[in-house]
Each structure stands twice: as C-alpha cells, then as structure tokens.
Structure 1
Amino acid sequence: MIADIERRLGHIDILVNNAGTATMIDLDDLTEAEFDRTLAVNLKSAFLCTQAVLPGMRARRWGRVVNLSSAAARGPGLVGIHYNASKV
C-alpha cells in the first residue's frame, strides 16, 4: 500500500494513523476472532504503516507520525472491552 501511494503521490512526509473499527458486543458474546480483528485494525495497522514509512522518513531526515485514539481509552464505554483495550 505504501509503495503504491509513493508511486502515485511521491514520498510520505506525514503519516496519520486513524484507522479504527468497533463492533458493539457484550463480553459474553465476543469471539476471539472479533477480538483479534479489532486489534489488527486498531493497533497492528498503525504499527505496520509506521514501520513502512519510517525508512523513507529517516533517509530524508524528516517526517511526522500522528497516532489518533479515542475517548474510549478513558473508561469502559459502550462499545466493548475489545475496542477499549485497543485504544489505550
């Protein structure tokens, strides 16, 4: 994805990690697969995108990575433990 973006638009100087997904579900009904999917979208995607742009930013000796979260990181919220845990 990053290579395609750089091919089309040029090098990446600023990355904003703002992906997020949430399924409103009670803990009793939460499956391991849904828990894993939430963490993959909300956490792993930020890690992978940052890892992909970092070499170019270091080579140019400039770049910014902005990670956005959610107010859900502050408490139990309504979405579910899987979402809240991924936003801390």
Structure 2
Amino acid sequence: MTTSDLPAPQQPRNPLHGITLEAMVVALSDYFGWQELGQRIPVRCFQSDPSVASSLKFLRKTPWAREKVEGLYLFMLREQRRSAR
C-alpha cells in the first residue's frame, strides 16, 4: 500500500478544506465587489480590470497574496455567520 492509496485525511475543523481558490475569489467578489476587494487586498488583479481568471493566475503564483485572500475569505464567513444570527 502506497501513500496515494490512502484516503485523504479528513479536516472537519478546517473551513478552507475542499474550497477551491476560484470559489473563494468568486465568493469574495460577490460579497465585497471588486472595488472593495481591491481596497482590502491592494493588488492589481483586483484593482485594474479585475476578473476571476486574472486573479487566479496571479494568486496561484503569489503565496503571500493567496494567504490574504484566504484570510479575508475566513473573515467573510465569520461575518456571514454573525449576521445570520
């Protein structure tokens, strides 16, 4: 049995588990809009002619920016839960 034969470890406490980068970008742009997203994370792919495709291309190559997107996504989830109460 090799490592690839083992089932993927479950991460029930990780809110990012199973969420694609594309899903995060789409959710953030829907929730905040591109303009506010570009203010919260000041990178050109969110500020100048933003699109999901250009954002994904940049974020896949830039770990620090991806971390900021993941952090903002978690913040958005907390805000959504808070407002649902």
Tell me which interval the TM-score lies in, with the shorter structure as reference length: under 0.3
Q: TM-score, normalised by structure 1?
A: 0.26
Q: TM-score, normalised by structure 2?
A: 0.27
Structure showing the higher strand proportion among its residues: 1
Structure showing the higher helix proportion among its residues: 2
